[in-house]
Structure 1
Amino acid sequence: MIRDRGRTRIWKQGVVLFLEGDPPDSVVLIEEGLVKITADADNGYTSLLAIRGPGELIGEMACLDGRARSATVTAMQTVRGTAVTSDRFLALLEEHGPLALSVIRSITARLRDSDGLRADQGALPAGMRVARVLLDLALRHGSEAPGRPGGRALSVNQQELAGAAGTSRESVVRTLRRLQDHGLVTTSRGRTLVLDLRSLARWASS
């Protein structure tokens, strides 16, 4: 239904789809590629709130309440999606109950994830938080790594991992160094390769 009411658009890597503070003029259904959702604090600190991929809707919460965008959405690679104006999106929800219910369930799941992350930030040490964020991103959005059976590659830098885990970049560097020493990850500029998901899961819960 969303595809029928919108138009296909392409965003190159690094292009901003939505900017924090802008009015909610549209929503986007991602068809291909990944985007990152970030928010800037008054002190200049940038938090990575989420990464979204194919089949996921972005920008819908601002359209629902009519308030300014609460975060910036940036293409992490070339992204193809269906853009629908806010008016058409709201009309669709009014016309199709199952679609409205699906959107509500999606928002609820994201809020639960957010609550869980905040609980972790208050109860877990920084290293474990970084490992859990890395595992979650690898499982949800990692891509296959050529020559590394079972490995998952992530185009996420250290500052973004720090923002997602609610810790400092220095803590991320220390944690990644330990994970590398255990043979669980390798890193390069702006890229992290998870080599062993099962061992990382055990490490993140120990």
Structure 2
Amino acid sequence: MVGSALPAEWKDLIRSAGHEVSWRRGEVLIREGETPDRVVLLERGLVKITAASTNGFTSVLAIRGPGELIGELSCVDGETRSATATAMASVSGVALAAPRFITLMEAHGGFALAVLRFVAVRLRESDIGRSDLGALPTVARTALVLARLSQNYGSPVPGSVGGAARRLAVNQQELAGAVGASRESVVRVLRELTERRLIVVSRGQILVHDPAALTVWPDTA
């Protein structure tokens, strides 16, 4: 579970008031520029959060997984969606209409506080992430982003040494968007990581043998 997952009691509240929805890989859950109509509690699968810039480049702002809310900010302030959420694989969750979401926050102070804390943790994580990554070259930035994504959202690999290995359902283009670099630059880094046997790249997936080792690479390479 990542730091920004909602506590169990409030996830249960959302489940009781919402309805189950599922999406296939590539389907859009919420779209940038649209009027906010619902929040979604993710239950299974990963979602990438992207935003389009004026020059046409699409940036991957974050990846979200089980236990996390998406779409809550625009439902609170009533502004149009600031980003698009797209299923990276099969995704299921609970959709809760925006008016019902607001009603629950007004009726349950504890729930409103949990949502506020949830948003605060995500903003703090985002600020720290930008600070850490801002001054790093593409090589180190790619390794650190891959380490964090695999630690937070990767699936454990049975039989791996010390149980450290994680399999991450992300393709090279999505990783490049998260790193903020060209696909070609990220592919070169992945090739080097593969040669050093730190990762294994396959179609739509990256197996990371030891995410912790990537947080200090290439200093210890």
Q: What TM-score comes out, normalization by structure 2 length?
A: 0.87
Output the amino acid matched with 2:196: H
Deviations 1:136-174 (A, max 9, x none): 100110013366453211121222212111222222112
Counterpart pick for 1:105 among 114, 117, 123: 117
Residue pair 1:33, 1:77 contacting (<8 A) in 2 also: yes
Q: Give unmatched runs, 5+ long, in structure 2.
A: 1-12
Distance 1:144 1:122, change over 3 A: closer
> Which residue of structure 2 lines up, in the alignment, with residue 6 of structure 1?
18
Distance 1:88 1:145, change over 3 A: same
1:33 aligns with 2:38: no
Residue pair 2:148, 2:211 contacting (<8 A) in 1 also: no
CA distance in 2, matches of 1:25, 1:204: 45
Deviations 1:41-88 (A, max 9, x none): 122211111111111111001101111111111111222211111100
Residue pair 1:121, 1:166 contacting (<8 A) in 2 also: no
> Which residue of structure 2 lines up, in the alignment, with residue 76 of structure 1?
88
Output the amino acid matched with 2:116: I
Residue pair 2:19, 2:94 contacting (<8 A) in 1 also: yes
Question: How far 1:32 moved relative to its partner?
Answer: 1.6
Aligned residues: 206
Counterpart pick for 1:199 among 181, 206, 213: 213
Question: How far 1:203 moved relative to its partner?
Answer: 1.4
1:139 aligns with 2:145: no
> Which residue of structure 2 lines up, in the alignment, with residue 129 of structure 1?
141
CA distance in 1, matches of 2:219, 2:93: 36
> Which residue of structure 2 lines up, in the alignment, with residue 183 of structure 1?
197
Structure 1 ranges of 4+ moved more than 4 A:
146-149
Residue pair 1:39, 1:71 contacting (<8 A) in 2 also: yes
> Which residue of structure 1 lines up, in the alignment, with residue 70 of structure 2?
58
Output the amino acid matched with 1:67: E
Distance 1:60 1:204, change over 3 A: farther
Residue pair 1:130, 1:175 contacting (<8 A) in 2 also: yes
Residue pair 1:156, 1:190 contacting (<8 A) in 2 also: yes
Query: Secondary structure in 2 aligned to 1:73?
Result: strand
Query: Secondary structure in 2 aligned to 1:113?
Result: helix
Distance 1:204 1:113, change over 3 A: farther
